[in-house]
Amino acid sequence: MKRPSLNLFVLLIILSLAACKKTETRPEIFARINAEVTQNAKGYATLGEATSTIGHRLTGSENGHKAEEYTYNKFKEYGFDDVAFQEFEVTSWSRGTIKVEIDGDSVPAVTLAHSPVSADVSAEVIDLGNGLEKDYEGKDALVKDKIAFIYIGILEGSEKGLHNLHRSEKTAIAIKHGAKGLIIFNQVDGGVLLTGTASVTGELIPIPAVCISKEKGMALKEKLKTKKIQARINMTNVSGPIKARNVIATLKGSSLPDEKILIGGHLDSWDLATGAIDNGIGSFSVLDIARAFKANKLQPKRTIQFVMFMGEEEGLLGSRYMVQQATKDGSINNIKYMMNLDMSGNPIGINAGGKLNDTTFFKTVGLEINKIDTIFKNKLDKKSGLHSDHQPFMLEGVPILGVISNLDRSIYGCYHSDCDDFKLVNEQHMKNTARFGTMILFAVADADKLPADKMDSETTRQFMIDNNLKEPLIIGKDWKWEK
């Protein structure tokens, strides 16, 4: 009898061992992710490096371009072969000079973005409370050609059940009722001044809009109870076409490569500080999650695209462009989930927006994470809001995913302000975002069946109504159904 060759014998042993090899379970994969990220997380270090060497990341600025290049090179360094820039051209805005006088006194103020390139307005100040539509009822004659004065939040003592609006939506209401200018006062103690867009469309608004501190605002409210007060707003700004780039790294799926799961965070920031919280902790966590996928050799069924969005602060410019292009070429149908990290950190649960078919999926995933680390509390929300890069995808019916954060609330006081600095960032919290975010993303991308499907137009419309989003979407000219 002829003996088998040595090579054949070795091959049979290899095949036998391969057949006996146990398939790795999801909890085992999660444990491996946890060990690797705990040991090697780089989100905090890369954010620290970027804030110290680049500074702010204003869209269209030299710093913004440096940030795009920085993250592109990091994706490459982490082992991604498929990394691309998605360039878009838009009209961008940047601040110039600002001078505000109220009742004859100079008051520290910050210009709200998309204010006119030049304005010099003097008028009486009219207190309009929270700046919601109901605050203007019966007051059009009083407001016309005056400077509207409003609170950025909901004032203490206001009637119960009020839904606050974004500063841009409050600005649109003031313009609609004939205001000549707008003064918003902040809700944060300590003289903090806040910037951000005052435009619902990303285009220039016709009136100057500024923010003053909470303390100055409260003092002005008291004065207005007993006397008429004049104010002057004098400003210059810059507006013109710029080019910016989303940065996209792609990890191809193993068995369902045409189905895409997106995870993104906006890389851009305002120019008053380094944008470490808004949105360094989100975008640089996305970068570290991408690193963890490569370092752990994770190969889920579906394709994952890791996206650094630019232009979010000036009107979701980068994400809108991505969705426009995907809608144009039909690839929007391939995007099955969009996970967004915006000022997110230290997750204790999952926020799953969209119509869930499988209501147990995320609870099961959360329980598996909780068994690894009880810091993750396995909370589950189904909330959906606006004004971040998930919005354009959500309006096309794409299911949305986020995390429930457990961060020190005090850091949000520096939102859009000159104190948004790296010293506010907690290293362990960023590590937790990378650990748990990688696990959640892998679970979705590798699921046998996704827990939610893309919503059709009518279902999406009703979803917006159910989440109290119709009014702000109409104000923002993003309501695409009946007017």
Using one digit for the tens of pLDDT, what is the confidence trace for 246-296? 999 999 999 999 999 999 999 999 999 999 999 999 999 999 999 999 999
Are the CB atoms for 245 and 87 separated by under 8 Å? Answer: yes
Same domain, 104 and 44: no
pTM of the complete model: 0.93
pLDDT of residue 22: 78
Same domain, 190 and 75: no
Same domain, 59 and 150: no
Report how many domains make up the chain: 2
The tens digit of pLDDT for each residue in 435-481 reads 999 999 999 999 999 999 999 999 999 999 999 999 999 999 999 99
Are the CB atoms for 284 and 290 separated by under 8 Å? Answer: no
Same domain, 298 and 425: yes
Rounded to whole angstroms, how far apart are CA atoms 267 and 286? 10
Same domain, 207 and 305: no
- The answer to the question of residue 441 being in a domain is yes
- The answer to the question of residue 414 being in a domain is yes
Residue in this structure with the two tokens 């008051």, named with its chain if needed: 107
Same domain, 319 and 370: yes
pLDDT at 10 > cutoff 90: no
Same domain, 194 and 262: no
Same domain, 301 and 429: yes
Same domain, 262 and 402: yes
Same domain, 73 and 181: no
Residues 6+ apart with CB under 8 A from 323: 332, 392, 393, 395, 396
- The answer to the question of residue 241 being in a domain is no
How does strand 110-111 pair with strand 256-266?
Answer: unpaired
- The answer to the question of residue 284 being in a domain is yes
Report percent pLDDT > 90 for the chain: 94
Domain holding 447, by residue range, is: 26-82+252-475
Burial state string for 300-326 with b = 16 or more CB within 10 A and e = fewer than 16: bebbbbbbbbbbbbbbbbbbbbbbeeb
Same domain, 378 and 293: yes
